């Protein structure tokens, strides 16, 4: 048997990037030989094994044939006769279809190296169109390597467009889509992911609610970029620049969905867009089965982001409602993430990227003020049950009044 490094490890070494996980392909071996060498099989469908020591993935060279819709609709054929070239041709991009032996000799039948130099994300063969997930993968690689100058080859974009129009994207499971989306959002330029999806028509299929934001104007006084879609991309860009976690990036992407529902007569104003957007945020959350913390933060940011911006003008009672909605006493981290999303929203505007956001510290101070209210003295005064709850709220409101007065003095 011959063993080669394949895929990302080869690509990233040639790019001079750190290699984190290594995928291997094994040519000329049978499952029985692998098991005899102590490899552990993973998954029933794939001829893939884990190395007994390193735990890295070793796949038998295989060919694939499309036999139906979606990911389940693939038949694999792995046997010792399958060549390295045959294995590589089923891969998505030329830059991912190179292999390397233990002497660093490169096997590159589909000119991945040429495309690396040309900074092009190009599909290997027309079989690209057999797996709709590749649309998301290419958009994700575009987001990752945009900083190096990579773009999607026009003929690959054409294929992605055909796939998006064919209805195949709808066959993707929530799990597979979310895995790509969440990884793409954590890249350095997540806005490129959305841009590429939009360019090939996939955004309209996957997240029509986000697609609808493009072409919707906002008031120029607050939004010099005017377009709501452009604003959303800038907010995402800021979130990445400020190294925000996935929860915040997800909330940034979805925070203004309500603006897509505003009747044109009301443009460029968006009355109550926060509230109107909630059902859309919920729909997108559920479509991709986003993790609970992502879902929660997106809904809270959707509902309250304008509260964040107006923090300094909020009445103490409104501030208290905000803090209660976030349960800042038990969930301080989530409130921090809300503040971060608001700040990214404020900076994701043309020419305002460097602005200061005093609302952030003001909100933190308010949360601290409310938190200082001690429960013990109230208990000692005999409050219990719902009355205790009311008394705590009263004390917190008092604390917030004092806080606001001190802050504006």
Q: Which residues bind ligand ATP (CB under 6 A)?
A: 7-8, 21, 23, 91-92, 96-97, 131, 133-134, 137
CA-CA-CA-CA dihedral for 284, 174, 162, 87, to nearest 10:
150
Q: Using alpha carbons, select from 90, 200, 211, 64 the residue that is nearest to residue 136.
A: 200
Instruction: Write down the least CB distance from residue 59 to ligand ATP, Å.
Output: 8
Any idea which residue has 């991309």 for tokens? 233
Burial 300-330 (b: 16+ CB within 10 A, else e): bbbbbbebbbebeebebeebbebbeebebbe
Instruction: Write down the least CB distance from residue 57 to Mg ion, Å.
Output: 8
Beta partners for residue 5, in sequence order: 24, 100
Instruction: Write down the least CB distance from residue 12 to Mg ion, Å.
Output: 9
* 217 lies in the site for Mg ion, by CB under 5 A: no
Q: Binding partner of residue 60 among Mg ion, ligand ATP, none, CB under 5 to 8 Å per kind?
A: none
Q: Which is nearer to Mg ion, 20 or 381 (CB)?
A: 20
Instruction: Write down the least CB distance from residue 27 to ligand ATP, Å.
Output: 15
Q: Binding partner of residue 91 among ligand ATP, Mg ion, none, CB under 5 to 8 Å per kind?
A: ligand ATP
Q: Binding partner of residue 291 among Mg ion, ligand ATP, none, CB under 5 to 8 Å per kind?
A: none
Q: Binding partner of residue 134 among ligand ATP, Mg ion, none, CB under 5 to 8 Å per kind?
A: ligand ATP
Any idea which residue has 């092009």 for tokens? 120
My answer on whether omega of the bond before 7 falls inside 30° of 0, hence cis, is no
Instruction: Write down the least CB distance from residue 125 to ligand ATP, Å.
Output: 10
The site for Mg ion, by CB under 5 A, has a size of 2
151: helix, strand or coil: strand
Q: Using alpha carbons, select from 133, 239, 117 the residue that is nearest to residue 189.
A: 239
Instruction: Write down the least CB distance from residue 127 to ligand ATP, Å.
Output: 9
Q: Which residue is nearest to Mg ion (CB)?
A: 8
Q: Binding partner of residue 92 among Mg ion, ligand ATP, none, CB under 5 to 8 Å per kind?
A: ligand ATP
Q: Binding partner of residue 164 among ligand ATP, Mg ion, none, CB under 5 to 8 Å per kind?
A: none
43/188 Cα distance (integer angstroms): 32
> What 8-state DSSP symbol labels residue 128?
G
- Element holding 162 (H helix, E strand): helix 154-166
Read off the tokens for 106.
């490169």
Contacts of residue 15, defined as CB under 8 A and 6 or more positions apart, other chains included, come to: 116, 145, 148
Q: Which is nearer to ligand ATP, 67 or 372 (CB)?
A: 67
Three-class SS string for 320-362? HHHHHHHCCCCCHHHHHHHHHHHHHHHHCCCCCCCCCCHHHHH
Rounded to 5°, the CA angle 63-48-40 comes to: 155
Q: Binding partner of residue 396 among Mg ion, ligand ATP, none, CB under 5 to 8 Å per kind?
A: none
Q: What is the largest CA-CA distance in the chain?
A: 83
Q: Which is nearer to ligand ATP, 145 or 357 (CB)?
A: 145
Instruction: Write down the least CB distance from residue 88 to ligand ATP, Å.
Output: 8
Draw the binding track, 19-48, toward Mg ion (x: CB under 5 A; -: no contact).
--x---------------------------
Instruction: Write down the least CB distance from residue 7 to ligand ATP, Å.
Output: 3
Q: Which is nearer to ligand ATP, 7 or 229 (CB)?
A: 7
Draw the binding track, 3-22, toward Mg ion (x: CB under 5 A; -: no contact).
-----x------------x-
91/8 Cα distance (integer angstroms): 11
Q: Binding partner of residue 96 among Mg ion, ligand ATP, none, CB under 5 to 8 Å per kind?
A: ligand ATP
Instruction: Summarize as ranges the residues that interact with Mg ion (CB under 5 A).
Output: 8, 21
């Amino acid at each position: 048997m011959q063993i080669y490094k394949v895929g990302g490890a080869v690509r990233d070494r040639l790019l001079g990037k750190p290699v984190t996980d290594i995928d291997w392909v094994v040519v000329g071996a049978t499952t029985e030989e692998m098991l005899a060498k102590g490899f552990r099989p993973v998954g029933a469908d794939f001829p893939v094994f884990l190395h007994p020591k390193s735990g890295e993935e070793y796949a038998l060279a295989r060919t694939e044939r499309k036999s139906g819709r979606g990911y389940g609709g693939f038949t694999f054929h792995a046997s010792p006769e399958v060549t390295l070239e045959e294995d590589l041709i089923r891969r998505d991009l030329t830059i991912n279809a190179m292999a390397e032996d233990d002497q660093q000799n490169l096997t590159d039948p589909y000119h991945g190296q040429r495309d690396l130099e040309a900074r092009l994300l190009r599909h290997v063969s027309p079989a690209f169109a057999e797996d709709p997930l590749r649309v998301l993968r290419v958009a994700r690689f575009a987001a990752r390597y945009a900083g190096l100058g990579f773009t999607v080859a026009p003929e690959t974009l054409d294929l992605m467009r055909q796939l998006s129009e064919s209805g195949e994207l709808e066959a993707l499971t929530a799990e597979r889509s979310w895995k790509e989306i969440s990884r793409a959002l954590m890249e350095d330029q997540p806005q490129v992911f959305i841009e590429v999806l939009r360019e090939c028509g996939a955004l309209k299929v996957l997240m029509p609610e986000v697609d609808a934001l493009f072409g919707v104007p906002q008031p120029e006084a607050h939004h010099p970029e005017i377009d709501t879609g452009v604003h959303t991309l800038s907010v995402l860009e800021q979130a990445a620049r400020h190294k925000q976690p996935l929860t915040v990036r997800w909330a940034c992407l979805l925070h203004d969905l309500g603006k897509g529902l505003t009747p044109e007569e009301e443009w460029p104003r968006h009355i109550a867009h926060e509230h109107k957007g909630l059902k859309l945020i919920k729909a997108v959350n559920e479509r991709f089965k986003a993790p609970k913390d992502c879902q929660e933060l997106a809904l809270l940011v959707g509902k309250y982001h304008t509260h964040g911006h107006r923090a300094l003008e909020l009445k103490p009672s409104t501030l208290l409602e905000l803090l209660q909605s976030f349960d800042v006493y038990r969930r301080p981290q989530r409130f921090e993430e809300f503040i971060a999303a608001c700040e990214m929203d404020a900076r994701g505007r043309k020419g305002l990227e460097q602005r200061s956001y005093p609302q952030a510290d003001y909100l933190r101070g308010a949360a601290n003020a409310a938190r200082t209210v001690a429960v013990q003295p109230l208990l000692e005064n005999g409050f219990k049950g719902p009355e205790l709850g009311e008394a705590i709220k009263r004390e917190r409101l008092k604390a917030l009044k004092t806080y606001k007065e001190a802050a504006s003095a």
